[in-house]
Structure 1
Amino acid sequence: MPTNSTPHRKHAQLVRPSIGEFSRHELAILGAPCGRIKELVARLLPHLEPTLRVAYVDADHAAGDDAAQGGTGGVDAILQAGASAELTDKITFRRLDLRRGLDTFAQQEWMHQQSLVLVNGNHFRARQQLIILDPAKPLQKKLDRLTDVRLILLPEGVTELPDYLQEHLQSADIPCLGLSDTEAIAAAVLQHWQQQQPRLRGLVLAGGQSQRMGQDKSRLTYHGQQEQRAYAAELLAPFCEDVLVSCRPDQVTELQAAGLAPLPDTFLGLGPMSGLLSAFQQDPDAAWLVVACDLPFLTDATLGHLVAHRHAGRMATAYRSPENEWPEPLITIWEPRSYGTLLRFLSLGYSCPRKALINSDIELLPPPAPTELRNINTPEQQAEALKEIEGR
């Protein structure tokens, strides 16, 4: 009887993004009473928020105590009456109260728009930690939570690590700062965040049908005999770890023959969204510098300006379109957390990357050379572009 040597897989073999308990970038603060942890966070926020979008995760002692004594635990009348959720517009902010539990998947979904999550480590874990050596809250019983300590804070009068902590941390070279030195702590947190900035990979979008042009736009030549897909890949190369060319499955062989690295679409029929989602499906932990293949006027100076002004704390860094003031999605750095946003828009029936940018927290830049952002989509535009480039 024939046997199948290929092992059976119950689930699809997907690359899972590297996310902690709450977020890609998270720090649990522990080693002090909850009030002192919250006070530290309040001091740090004015120094962090100009650069980062910061969330704080904590537990409500009073609500827990009330529920344990038979009370409502802070639940208002609508939830008590049986509603599963209540969205309240507070005019200056919105609050969402849910009955569902704080499971791992939900908390990551809720926090994925934040660039940094600070966590009360007395109640919750995070994959990296900041510890306070407060004698009122020793850490002996929480050593299992100290898996990757990045900073040690010393209250006034404390100058040395206790023996049990030295033994646990062994020879780890962890910086120590005074608990009252707010600016230095904030600077250390920002430096830690910047050191974890996602790597940048390049993606040339070349899988379109080119219906208006009547021929494959990625194979047009404006600069000598070099095809546009190769020209764009060459522009991206100095700024990226590597460069892939997004394509239809039927284009793979010809791209390989041309010395390019193909990335065939795994999401089909979605236009540019196909290439973006396929790239994130392959590597959800990278940021993708995306360039369309139909930009013959684009230069390395404009790409370099985009990379130099990249804000990894936002969902994306994009240029403002010179035509309508909207973000230009096809010359954009898409950060890892944009993957979930793009999928969310797709689930709502939208396949337009620009719509995701317009409705998200992005860094929007004026282009240094607006004419370089011109797309060439028709034979008439192609003829004009060739004439202009040849006349330079």
Structure 2
Amino acid sequence: MTLNGHNKHTKLARPSFGNFGRNEWAVLGTPCTVIKRLADDVIKALAPDYKGAYADTTHADDITHAPGRLGAGAVLEYTDQLQYSQLSYAAPLTPFQLRQHFSQVDLVLVNGNHQQAKAQVVILDENKKASLQKRVSQLTNVELILVSDNTNEVFDFVQDAVLNWRDIPMLKVDDLQGVITFFKGKLIQNQPKLNGLVLAGGKSQRMGFDKTAVKWHSKEQRYHIADMLRGFCNEVFISCRAEQQDQVETGYAVLPDTFIDLGPYGAILSAFRRDPDSAWLVVATDLPLLDETTIQHLVALRNPAAIATAYTSGFDGLPEPLITIWEPKSYPQLLAFLAQGYSCARKVLINSDTSLIPPANPDALTNVNTPEEHDRIKQLLHQNIASHD
């Protein structure tokens, strides 16, 4: 029984996934062999910069028994094939499981003769005209039309189903370079926007006083960092605990923790909960020597195909998780680590496909957590000011 006006589920911002991933296209209107060959060519051409994937349904109708140990009753079989890994499932994968598996890829091409996707590439082939007409209901978001040599016009039923067909790019099916350029352009166009997140929710227990409020550069550090990020980000938020919201000055957006008692890990997850389709440039406030050049260098070398772009520590060579660009594809990865009992952002970076870059100025990543470190950096900054004077 549901009461009027009662919503039993919390409203959450959902990632813009289709059936498989964020950027997916079903290719239909031509034989499966042509679709597979086109997928091979596009994925291979984009592989240096983007992770590609392919979805299809097998034609092996003569296979009546599940392969390997699945036939003996196993529900899952993992095989290290040396050149690649293979997971075989006995049960069909649900849409939720599929999206989880495809969440790390940038481009999904789908055989539209068997599967559907949120966008479509239609191939006009006279020999498959009747087959395409049977699938006309799948033409919900056509973004590219390819024309075979045996076809001279857009079929009438396609015109009726795709009212804006004149505005859709149209290429010859053998114009491979044009097709590759189309997909590359779409991936660039769909690159997640970059938001900024200033981590200011710590309790500063080792410091003994609120280190986010230290005025290293004429204003409180949390505002100094936020102002720097504004030149590189679409929106900038100051991350804090719920009880700290009223302490943030007007004019600065606040993003309180919704994953509580997890430190910076919870702050990052809270940011993705608010906007799961944006990348987040996460910066801690205990970096008094951080400058715009260091941020600009990180943004310039951002790799959206990785789960994150991070600096390596000059101390131990490990990733610096608290001055890192976390891509949307890191959100399910962070949640998966949390489900296994881990809340260390660095551990996620170490055990994932992370793009690591050396800092141009390692000193800019110096962090301050104790009164002794505070006094040392304060003296260093005074010396730098005096030397410039």
Q: Which TM-score bucket, shorter chain as reference? A: over 0.9
Structure 1 partner of 2:269: 277
Instruction: Give 1:94's aligned residue.
Output: 85
* 1:266 counterpart = 2:262: no
Correspondence for 2:233: 240
Cα distance between partner residues in 2 of 1:325 and 1:154: 52
Q: Which residue of 2 aligns with 1:54?
A: 52
2:161 corresponds to 1:168? yes
Return the letter of the residue paired with 1:66: D
Structure 1 residue 283 displacement after superposition = 1.2
- Following superposition, the deviation at residue 133 of structure 1 comes to 1.3
Query: Which whole-Å deviations, capped at 9, do the CAs of 1:44-72 have from their partners, x for residues lacking one?
Result: 2221100111110011111xx125xxx21
Q: Distance in 2 between matches of 1:346 and 1:136?
A: 52
Which AA in structure 2 matches 1:248? Answer: R
Alignment equivalent of 1:11, drawn from 4, 9, 12: 9
**CA offset digits 1:194-223 (Å, max 9, x no partner):** 111112111000111112111111111111
Which residue is 2:181 aligned to? 187
Aligned pairs for 1:38-117 within 5 A: 38-62=36-60, 65-67=61-63, 71-72=64-65, 75-117=66-108
1:368 aligns with 2:360: yes
CA distance 1:171–1:14, change in 2 (3 Å): closer
Once the 2 structures are TM-superposed, how far is the Cα of residue 151 of structure 1 from its aligned partner? Answer: 1.4
Aligned residues: 379
What amino acid maps onto 1:387 in structure 2?
A: Q
Contact 2:272–2:331 (CA<8 Å) still a contact in 1? Answer: yes
Conservation of the 8 A alpha-carbon contact between 1:245 and 1:261: yes
Which amino acid counterpart does residue 161 of structure 2 have in structure 1? Answer: H
CA distance in structure 2 between the partners assigned to 1:143 and 1:367 by the alignment? 53
Shift of 1:157: 4.2
Q: TM-score scaled to structure 2, two decimals?
A: 0.94
Specify the code of the residue in structure 1 equivalent to 2:180. A
Q: TM-score, normalised by structure 1?
A: 0.93
Percent identity (aligned): 46
Structure 2 partner of 1:33: 31
Structure 2 runs not aligned, ≥5 long: 385-389
Hey, what does 1:133 align to over in structure 2?
Answer: 124
1:317 equivalent in structure 2: 309
Residue 147 (structure 1) aligned to one of 113, 134, 140: 140
Between the aligned partners of 2:138 and 2:319, the Cα distance in structure 1 is 42
Cα distance in structure 2, aligned partners of 1:273 and 1:44: 36
Asked if structure 2 preserves the Cα contact closer than 8 Å seen for 1:115 and 1:314, the reply is no
- Asked whether 1:386 is paired with 2:384, we answer no
More divergent stretch after superposition (358-367 vs 268-277): 358-367
Q: Does 1:203 align with 2:197?
A: yes
- In structure 2, what is the equivalent of residue 305 of structure 1? 297
Q: Does structure 2 conserve the Cα–Cα contact (< 8 Å) formed by 1:131 and 1:149?
A: yes
Deviation of the 1:176 alpha carbon? 1.6
Give how far 1:367 is off.
Answer: 1.6
What residue number does 2:329 align with?
A: 337
**Helix, strand or coil for the counterpart of 1:189?**
helix
